[in-house]
A and B are shown apart, each in its own frame.
Chain A
């Protein structure tokens, strides 16, 4: 099926995708969240007729525009990269994966980009109401975009609603609604957009706090802070709820990712949740070193979050590689886990059977066709393992996944305290006096981006080596290109995106410094 595996090619392709996705994700969350904040503000303007609200709306709209442009620039590449760099993947699952991308374009991206034109240029051309509706549609459109992209991503993490068609050698969709309403996808969508709302709230609060420190734009700053802090705290609560849902889904669908998130090598019953810890550097899954240099954990919480039972067994990395532990499958039946080696063997049987089926079909040998299909179907659930040779290759990078996860969660809780403190102080009209807090709010802005990127790293590094969980590893997904070609485009993207990022930041800082103009823009 794959003639030779070129590790350099796979790694450069991975690096390129990671780089482009990382850059894209630097800008998207702000767009997702700030569009709603702007829509709230404009609603207040239309309701009250207070021109100050219009000025506030327009100021944030300018910052949004700067961010949006680079988000679009970094986004187009991702869609096409599935074809250019992951062409085998594109065929293998295109029948399912292509649909959400197309729907995103038709249903969401057009809505967003059409009404942005009215939002930016329509102030004097359409009625107040039509303008307000346009602003809301921009927010809804951008969030619908996120829905379809995360449905696609969720499907990769937990493929549902499809079957494998041996004649076309690809997965084909059986049930659109199962794909759309997959619990993993929905949880991922809700968790991601709410995290974006939190980030945008922190951005708006941080910029406003800077104005307060400088003694400028007090009314704008205060009003912006109130709206964002309330939006932020409500979003944070929902974020915890969806985070809990995500943990449950990961435990069920991607136990290896959960083990990596927690740095758990040796599984245990009644597993605790690590609050703070350092995984032992250089730890191998099968050596005798302790899992952690030190740890501070909440007893039994991991078992509870993952399985709804404080005594449940949470398998560690080693358990998943070596198998042999008992678990309950999705039909509620107790099973003994297979080892990675057994899965690899079964995967190879499936790949081999598929090839035999193809040959039998060619030679019109019906009996052989039927026989090979039976073998294929029995082993298909571990199809992707057949492309791997080493059981260890199913382990993602544990330290990166662990630290990203803990940074994300830690910062997430810190943000909640911050929102609450801000709300209390601003309602008592004491925020301006607390210079240290205002400074902290400014410095928290980059932390929000770090938290958001960490979340993305957990989701994507933690699921390696899979592009489609259990069905297709990255090594088998890649386009057969020279590694050097990918290397060149990798550096080109690095250079272009970095230059554009610098431009974006310089423009953004300058616009903040300039502040709102009378009438805006």
Chain B
């Protein structure tokens, strides 16, 4: 079924898959957001235990999605993998450190004789939650703001930025998306707790926190998006492949791809609806509206960065080194082979859905913490 597709269509298909994985990843970052709220929402040991266990049953989904996102990016756009990872060394290393310390923290936090103490593992979870979300947001923002690197005729890349990627964090636009992701993750976490935790004291604190986190989220997100609509973007000529600046490129992309614009708008509305519903009414299903909204919004942003002859990983050092879905991709054969593999994705989503429902069919409560099950 993929045999007849052209290389370009396969490249677009894979950009769509990467975008979807990225979008699902941002939604799943609610786990990270929740990790930064353990002490804000949980005032007693049991309350914190409930929060940790509520998140602990989901952390692996986020983790696995991150790993798969990386693997899929490697397989489909290896030039991005080699340029960005080898270039923005410190940013990626910090992200990785943040995830290394997360993986053990759930399992070891409440185990006796755990060497570092429960507090340390909770700090690890906080670091992962804050650093992981902000840095991932900053990295995605560079799809629009560009980085300083060059790629030579052998496609070997060299980073020209001053601080191996850390300089990217100083760009206010990158930072605004980073913080938007951070507060979004916290908002989603609160909505998730409302849906999953059955503990009155915790729930009584969620509404106020939801408001406190939604406001900065909306401010940072709007700052980024409005600015995005006015900047010069990185366009390339479909025939000559030459990259150049184009005024209002991303606004043009929206207007020239109305479907993407619609997806984006529906996404934003759903995110806000989920938040509003949970603030103004007593509602436990806000997570589903905001969650789906997050996926749609992020998906649209990724498509904005890569489709319509746009360089998705632009170089401000040397425009012609910028990466596009055409020059950074794998060969036609590999994309084709991988496309067959991608047919497994709906199946994977189906069993994740099954597992999610099986575990979440009943809210988590203090009673369950005393049952003979695996407790974090």
B-binding residues in A (CB < 8 A)? 1-2, 58, 61-62, 65-66, 68-70, 72-77, 79-80, 82-91, 94-99, 101-107, 109-111, 113-118, 120-126, 130, 165, 168-170, 172-174, 176, 354, 358, 362, 479-481, 485, 489, 492, 496, 499-500, 502-504, 506-507, 509-511, 514, 517, 519-521
Contacts and interface: CB of A to CB of B under 8 A. Distances in A.
B359 A87 contact: no
Interface string B75-88: 11011011111110
A507 B85 contact: no
Interface in B86-114: 86-87, 89-90, 92-93, 96-97, 99-104, 106-108, 111-114
Residue of A76, A84, A124 with most chain B CB atoms under a 10 A cut-off: A84
Contacts of A98: 71, 74-76, 78, 81, 330, 334
Contacts of B157: 87, 91
A113 B107 contact: no
Contact of A521 (B64, B342, B361, B374): B374
A97 B76 CA distance: 11
Nearest to B337: A176
A106 B373 contact: no
A88 B115 contact: no
B76 A102 contact: yes
Interface string B335-376: 001100110110010011001001101100000000111110
Interface residues of B, number: 77
Nearest to A180: B337
A74 B89 contact: no
Contacts of A87: 81-83, 85-87, 156-157
Given A87-B86, A506-B114, A94 B158 contact: no
Given A510-B112, A514-B112, A88 B358 contact: no
24 contacts: A66-B108, A75-B67, A76-B67, A83-B81, A83-B92, A87-B87, A91-B155, A94-B79, A98-B76, A101-B70, A106-B344, A107-B341, A110-B348, A114-B64, A117-B57, A117-B355, A121-B359, A123-B373, A172-B330, A489-B93, A503-B104, A506-B113, A506-B115, A510-B113
Contacts, number: 278
A97 B114 CA distance: 38
B331 A84 contact: no
A105 B61 CA distance: 11
A355 to B, nearest CB: 8
A113 B60 contact: yes
A437 B373 CA distance: 35
A114 B352 contact: yes
Nearest to A58: B372
A73 B101 contact: yes
B68 interface: yes
B71 A104 contact: yes
B154 interface: yes
Contacts of A70: 103-104
Nearest to A171: B331
A291 to B, nearest CB: 40
Contact of A79 (B70, B78, B83): B70
B63 interface: yes
A179 B331 CA distance: 15
A358 B155 CA distance: 12
A94 B335 CA distance: 12
A86 B157 CA distance: 11
Given A76-B99, A83-B74, A110-B64, A91 B156 contact: yes
B153 A90 contact: no
Contact of A105 (B67, B99, B106, B351): B67
A80 B96 contact: yes
Interface in B140-155: 153-155
B100 A480 contact: no
B334 A96 contact: yes
B116 interface: yes
A124 B358 CA distance: 10
B277 interface: no
Contacts of A517: 372
Contacts of B71: 79, 98, 101-106
Contacts of A82: 74, 81, 85
6 closest Cβ pairs, A-B complex: A83-B85, A87-B86, A94-B78, A105-B68, A98-B75, A479-B86
B97 A503 contact: no
A72 B85 CA distance: 20
Contacts of B97: 492, 496
B212 interface: no
Contacts of B159: 480-481
Contact of A65 (B79, B96, B107, B342): B107
B72 interface: yes
A121 B57 contact: yes
Given A90-B82, A169-B153, 10 more contacts: A66-B108, A83-B82, A87-B85, A109-B68, A125-B359, A170-B155, A506-B114, A506-B115, A507-B112, A514-B112
B333 interface: yes
Nearest to A165: B331
B164 interface: yes
A353 B352 CA distance: 51
B74 A118 contact: no
Contact of B108 (A88, A114, A507): A507
A73 B103 contact: yes
B175 interface: no
B112 to A, nearest CB: 5
Contacts of A74: 100
Given A110-B68, A114-B61, A172-B333, A84 B372 contact: no
B96 A76 contact: yes
A94 B330 contact: yes
Contacts of B134: none
A507 B333 contact: no
B359 A118 contact: yes
B74 A102 contact: yes
Nearest to B362: A125
